[in-house]
Amino acid sequence: MAQPIIQADKLTKRFGDFVATDAITFDVARGEIFGFLGANGAGKTTAMRMLCGLSTPSSGHAQVAGFDVATHPEDVKQNIGYMSQKFSLYENLTVAENITFFGGIYGLRNPVLREKREQLLTRLGLHDVAGKHVGSLPLGWKQKLAFSVAILHDPKIVFLDEPTGGVDPFTRRQFWDLLYHAAAQGITVFVTTHYMDEAEYCNRVSIMVDGRLAALDTPRRLKELYGAASMDDVFYTLARGAQRGE
Amino acid sequence: MLFFLLQKEFKQIFRNRTILAVVLVMPLIQLIVLPLAADYEVKNINLCIVDNDRSPEAQRLAQQLTASGYFRLTGYTASYRDAQALLEADRADVVLTIPPHFGRALVRDGQQTLSLAVNAINGVKAGLGAAYITTILQTYNNAIRVQWIQPGRFPAAPIVKVAPVYWYNPFLNYRVFMVPGILAVLVTMIGGFLSALNIVQEKEVGTIEQINVSPIKKHYFILGKLLPFWVLGNVVFTLGLLVARVVYGIVPMGSIPLLYGFVTLYLLAILGLGLLISTYCETQQQAMLITFFFMMIFILLGGLFTPLDSMPTWARAVAYASPVTHLIAVMRMIILKGSTAQDVLPAAAIVATFALILNVWAIVNYRKTS
């Protein structure tokens, strides 16, 4: 097996007495779609923020795309894409302007930038609304756009924090098509979700409970292990033991 | 990299009608309205005269007081009690009592005593009102002296007359003094508030997260926030200068490039303060309150309304530690006195130090990784 693209080793984040993420250890292979599950408050977002170089670990180590997140966060950032829980494109800029801006700050320059912008608009079928303010788009389109912008600079990994909250199953399916497309191009996808049907789409799934990594395997093996019919049941079995709520 | 940041900021500014309105309309309105309203000249002092004499001399005195234009006669009565009532009802600021037999005694004895009661709740109005009356009485004195005392009967009283010449503002026009100061405050307010709110707004909306997860350099990000507001600040200043010229006929005596040079430097300092506040706050409300706190102190201690020289020493120390004080002083120096680069150099050095410290502090305190 090749060198894993993400290696976390006893990665921990404490806020005062509270241990948000408690010594989690795992690897993610290149090109994998890795599902990162857990109840609200289980520590998913905190762990993901550490892996993205947004938050410094209290202890433990993590390497992302070959760089240590604690010592070289800016190198990590050059190699990843990130789509946060909160929609974070500029609503008062147009679709095309958002693409240009985010491409630009990742160092893309014309004519590559122009070409990528065209490709993206074509793939998402957004040519007609390229000149519209992002704020006026339906949520599902915004999410697809945010994802596409996050991978515009061809990162090695893309981190997605609950990317499909609040949209219908059909739109979610379309979104996952985009993820598969990205993965097929060799981009590692690291995704958190509360939808268990989405968990089934992942190559491997980890489940966090109270800041710890309670399970990690393929969806099929997890179901076998817990004698469950669906990922839903696996999640229930594990999350029921959780001590802390939201 | 910087190009994309600037492009984005300018687009966002030009799409925000509130910002545009604040930048374009506020200077016009404030410069046209404020100097007219914020005026030290006290007029319309409510005067009540208690005339216990009713002689022609007394009437002449009353007439002279009201003809001065500073007083509004709100009562002319024969009883002090009525006057007291007016004072209590806040309808009289000054009560002048003319004693009985004023006219006769004046002719007989050559001197008389009047009593003056002043409502001193508004200290400025009270002080100036009393001073005006004293001056008018002096004129009245001289007038009757000339009229009644035949020349040569007494040696003329030696009178020392002071004839002041007012430099830089020859007609003591209050607006000439206020307009540069108000312009300084305007530039400060617009620069300070816009920059303080900007980064915080990105925090609130969540877009800052997307910036922080990108490999963009911190100093580029701060610079990308600084430059657009720096340009806006200069636009506001230019508008203000035009208003000063068109509405008040104030043409800077000194060099206009020097004026811009100083304002440019100053804007870096005040924008730096705004950005620094913005790196410490999580919500626009916090940023607003903190900026407001600084603005109040800066403006009240900045020498706009009250001369620095009359402040206690500790307050003067605080005032000098505020960049606004230096801008107000330098604006008045260059616009009214025609001061040269050499004259404003000390102030420029202080403001440059502020600019450097505040901006470096803002860059250091802005963290992409928490």
Number of domains in chain A: 1
Contact residues for B319 (Cβ-Cβ < 8 A; gap 6+): B301, B302, B303, B308, B311, B325
The pLDDT value recorded for residue B29 is 86
In a domain, A134, yes or no: yes
Query: What's the pLDDT at B92?
Result: 85
Please check whether residue A94 lies inside any domain of the structure: yes
Determine the pLDDT at residue B128.
78
Q: Does B20 touch chain A (CB under 8 A)?
A: no
For position A72, what pLDDT does the model report?
A: 92
Beta-carbon separation of A88 and B369 below 8 A: no
Task: Please report residues of A whose CB lies closer than 8 A to that of B11.
Answer: 93, 97
How large is the greatest C-alpha to C-alpha distance in chain A, in angstroms?
A: 54
Nearest to B4 among A73, A75, A104 (CB): A104
Question: For residue A119, is it within any domain?
Answer: yes
Residue A206 lies in a domain: no
In angstroms, what separates the C-alpha of A82 from chain B's closest C-alpha?
Answer: 7
CATH numbers and ranges of domains, chain B: 2-38+170-365 (no CATH), 45-148 (3.40.1710.10)
Per-residue pLDDT at B146: 64
The predicted structure's pLDDT at residue B39: 64
pLDDT beneath 70, residues of chain B: 38-42, 145-164, 166, 168-173
Cβ-Cβ contacts under 8 Å between A and B: the total is: 77
Please measure the distance between the N-terminal and C-terminal CA atoms of chain B and give it in whole angstroms: 23
pLDDT at position B134 is 82
Q: What is the pLDDT of residue B120?
A: 78
Distance CA B42, CA A43 (A): 67
The Cα B6–Cα B13 span in angstroms is 10
* pLDDT confidence of residue B109: 75
Q: Do B206 and A87 touch (CB under 8 A)?
A: yes
User: Would you give per-residue pLDDT tens digits along chain A (246 residues)?
Assistant: 568 999 999 999 999 999 999 999 999 999 999 999 988 888 899 999 999 999 999 999 999 999 999 999 999 999 999 998 888 899 999 999 999 999 999 988 989 999 999 999 998 989 899 999 999 999 989 999 999 999 999 999 999 999 988 889 899 999 999 999 999 999 999 999 888 888 999 999 999 988 899 889 999 999 999 888 888 888 888 888 777 754
What residue in A sits closest to B13 (Cα-Cα)? Answer: A92
Contacts of B221 (CB under 8 A, 6+ apart): B5, B211, B366
Across A176-206, b (16+ Cβ under 10 Å) vs e yields bebbeebbeeebbbbbbbebbebbebbbbbb
- Neighboring chain B residues of A93 at a CB cutoff of 8 Å: 8, 11-12
Of B7, B206, B215, the CB nearest to A88: B206
Question: With an 8 Å Cβ cutoff, are A53 and B11 in contact?
Answer: no
Neighboring chain B residues of A102 at a CB cutoff of 8 Å: 210, 214
Q: How far apart are CA B42 and CA A168, in angstroms?
A: 70
Does residue A116 sit within a domain? yes
Domain membership of residue A107 as a residue range: 90-154
Smallest Cβ–Cβ distance between A105 and the set B12, B216, B369 belongs to: B216
Examine residue A99 and state whether it is found in any structural domain, yes or no: yes
Q: Taking a contact as any Cβ pair under 8 Å apart, which residues of chain B between 197 and 226 contact chain A?
A: 205-207, 209-216
Q: What is the pLDDT of residue B76?
A: 87
Residue A148 domain flag: yes
Query: A86–B206: do the CB atoms touch at under 8 Å?
Result: yes
Q: What is the pLDDT of residue B179?
A: 86
ipTM above 0.95, yes or no: no
Check residue B166 and give its pLDDT. Answer: 66
Residue at A170 is within a domain: no
pLDDT at B224: 93
Q: How many Å lie between the alpha carbon of B230 and the closest alpha carbon of chain A? A: 21
> Which positions in chain B touch A87 (Cβ < 8 Å)?
206
